[in-house]
Structure formats: C-alpha cells, structure tokens
C-alpha cells in the first residue's frame, strides 16, 4: 500500500533564490515605475525618487506577502521599500540605503509592521540616518485585533490594515505637508483601523519545503497571523456568513463605531482564497454594517497582504472623518493597484 508524500509544488527555480528571482522579474515588468538602489535589488524606490520638497515614506519587511510591502511603491504612495528574505526582516543597512535614495530634503517617515526584527533594524537605520542629517520619524502599524487584547494595542501586529497607513500618509505627503503632519496622519489611521483574519490552510516556505503549521480538515483558525502565528480560536469550519459576523463583531467590539459614521472596508485574501469567496464575505460585512447604520464610503477587495499560498482572509475596517475621507480619495499608481481621482 503506497503512502502519500507531501511534496512541495511551486513554480520556482532554486528555493534559496526565490526572492532574488522574484525581484528581477518585478523590476523587468515595472521598469517604468520602480528602480533598484542596491546591487542586490533589496532596496527599491519609485522611479522619480528622490522627489524634492516632499516628505518621503519608506517601508519594508519580509517577502512572501505580496503586494505587501514592495507593491505599494509608486506615485501617490510610498517612495521606497526594503526587501527581506521570506518572512525575514531586511537589514538596517538596506533600510539606510533606501532612506538615502528617497530623501528629498523634507525628512523620511518609516511605516512598517510591529515585528521584532523589523523594529530593531529600522530603529538602527533611523539612528544612522540621523547621523547623516536625515530626520526620520516612525509609525508602527498595530491593527491586528487578535494578536493582543485591548489595553495592549501597541504590542499588536501590523497586517492588512497597514495599507491604510500607507495610503493616507502618502496622500498627505503629496499635498506638501511637513513630516510632523504626515506622521500625524499615519498615527491617526493606525488608531482608527482594526483587522481580524481567519486561516484554513498553512503555507510552505520554499527553503523549508513543508507547511509552517498544521490545521485539520474541516477546521479553521480565527486570528492567525500572516506568518502562521497562533490565533485565538480553532474550531470547525463555519459558513461565510458566520465567519464574517465573527470578524466584524470582534472588530467593532475593539473599535466602537457609531451609527451614521463612515468607514472604509478592506477584504483581503491571504494568497489562495478565490476572489469569489472574498465577495461573499464582503456581502455579509456590508449587510452587517448597514444594519448598524454604518456607511461604507469606500471598499477594497482583493489581495493586499498575503502569506504565500495560505488559504484564508482578513477584514479591515477604517473609521473615517472628513480629513481621512479626502485623503482616501486621492489618486495613486503602483505596480499592483491604481486609484484614479474621483
């Protein structure tokens, strides 16, 4: 009797060179929008960087999450990004190099997720930049409700809701605001966005060749992180309506939104969830918010922060005010997403 073997099946060459091959392909495909500022391609900038007289915004993190992080570099969005190995932080030197390349004279804002290696290396890069006379400010994204309870928001992980920090801060920078104002907007976005996710299957790191965790047939895990960090509840797979209700209920318990307020909703696929299923989830999210008298001003549905081929999704809700609503409408153009002026 034959035994089934779990074989990694991916369209790759050398498992150790997945990131390098991906970056080469990305730069070839989007040479009109992106440029490399290091010989190893681990630091990228928008094609017109540095933009003089504008606050520059940089991010970075491990690979395996496309379009996060490098997919958001472009006009109306981020100025630069550093690229780590899969699920691994980029180095402080790489971040310093991209900081130098994008600095247009008005300072640089770092926006990135709350992960130990990133915090350490980005802080070091900021200190080195300061020695060169480049002012750097930092906002760390902490939108993942499941990662820490209320009262410990500053320790939460940054996940798909980070898109809103990028979008809003970048729009403010495009208006010519100074570094303090751009940072304020990023902090305001972070304070008003929450994300909850659910996973159905693990992902496989190419260099390892096996799943990062196991989850039983017919099971799901609420609150799992984008690297496979444990969630807050594992149980039987529920219907789309039940899943959506669980995620929205958790978000609104953490971020009370009053009847009549406007929000933006982001439904994010984790890498292997069909778009059809994301729209089924959106259908329920829309109805739940509508029942509460909460108006969805703008919605985003697709893949914004993935985890290789993980099957799962997340829901992010951003509470809006007049200022954030205007910034949300501003146009941008990146290799993965474009938003035109309304």
DSSP per residue, 121-143 = HHHHHHHHHHHTT--EEEEEE--
Active site residue 65: yes
Out of 30, 103, 154, 227, which one is annotated catalytic? Answer: 227
Whether the bond between 69 and the residue before it is cis, its omega within 30 degrees of 0, is yes
Taking only Cα atoms into account, the Rg of the chain, rounded to an integer number of angstroms, comes to 20
Give dist(CA 317, CA 194) in Å, integer.
Answer: 6
Planar angle of CA 309, 72, 31, nearest 5 degrees: 100
Out of 30, 65, 154, 286, which one is annotated catalytic? Answer: 65
Give dist(CA 285, CA 163) in Å, integer.
Answer: 19
CA pseudo-torsion sign 30, 31, 34, 38: positive
Give dist(CA 266, CA 176) in Å, integer.
Answer: 27
316 in Cβ contact with 265 (< 8 Å): yes
16 in Cβ contact with 69 (< 8 Å): no
- Helices assigned H by DSSP within the chain: 18-29, 92-102, 116-131, 162-174, 179-191, 240-254, 275-291, 322-329
Give dist(CA 85, CA 99) in Å, integer.
Answer: 19
DSSP summary character for residue 242: H
Task: Give the contacts of 214 (CB within 8 A, at least 6 positions apart).
Answer: 202
The set of catalytic residues is: 65, 227
């Amino acid at each position: 009797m034959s035994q089934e073997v779990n074989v990694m099946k991916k369209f790759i060459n050398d498992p150790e060179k997945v990131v390098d091959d991906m970056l080469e392909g990305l730069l070839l495909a989007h040479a009109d929008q992106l440029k490399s500022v290091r010989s190893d391609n681990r630091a990228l900038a928008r094609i017109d960087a540095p933009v003089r007289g504008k606050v520059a915004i940089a991010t970075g993190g491990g690979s395996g999450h496309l379009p996060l992080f490098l997919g958001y570099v472009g006009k109306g969005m981020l100025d630069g990004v550093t690229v780590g190995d899969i699920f691994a932080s980029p180095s402080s030197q790489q971040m310093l190099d991209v900081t130098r390349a994008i600095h247009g004279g008005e300072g640089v804002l770092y926006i990135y997720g709350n992960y130990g290696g990133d915090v350490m290396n980005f802080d070091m890069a900021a200190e080195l930049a300061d020695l060169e006379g480049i002012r750097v400010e930092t906002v760390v994204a902490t939108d993942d409700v499941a990662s820490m309870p209320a009262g410990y928001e500053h320790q939460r992980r940054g996940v798909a809701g980070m898109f809103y920090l990028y979008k809003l801060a970048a729009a403010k920078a495009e208006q010519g605001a100074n570094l303090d104002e751009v940072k304020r907007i990023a902090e305001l976005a972070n304070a008003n966005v929450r994300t909850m996710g659910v996973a159905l299957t693990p992902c496989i790191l190419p260099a390892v060749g096996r799943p990062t965790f196991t989850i039983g047939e017919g099971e799901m895990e609420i609150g799992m992180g984008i690297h496979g960090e444990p969630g807050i509840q594992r149980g039987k797979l529920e219907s789309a309506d039940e899943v959506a209700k669980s995620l929205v209920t958790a978000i609104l318990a953490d971020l009370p939104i009053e009847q009549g307020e406007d929000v933006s909703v982001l439904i994010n696929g984790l890498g292997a969830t069909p778009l059809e299923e994301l729209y089924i989830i959106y259908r329920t999210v829309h109805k739940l918010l509508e029942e509460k008298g909460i108006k969805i001003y703008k919605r985003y549905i697709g893949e914004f922060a993935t985890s290789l081929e993980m099957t799962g999704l997340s829901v992010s809700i951003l509470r809006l005010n007049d200022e954030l609503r205007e910034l949300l409408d501003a146009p941008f153009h990146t290799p993965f997403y474009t938003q035109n002026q309304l």
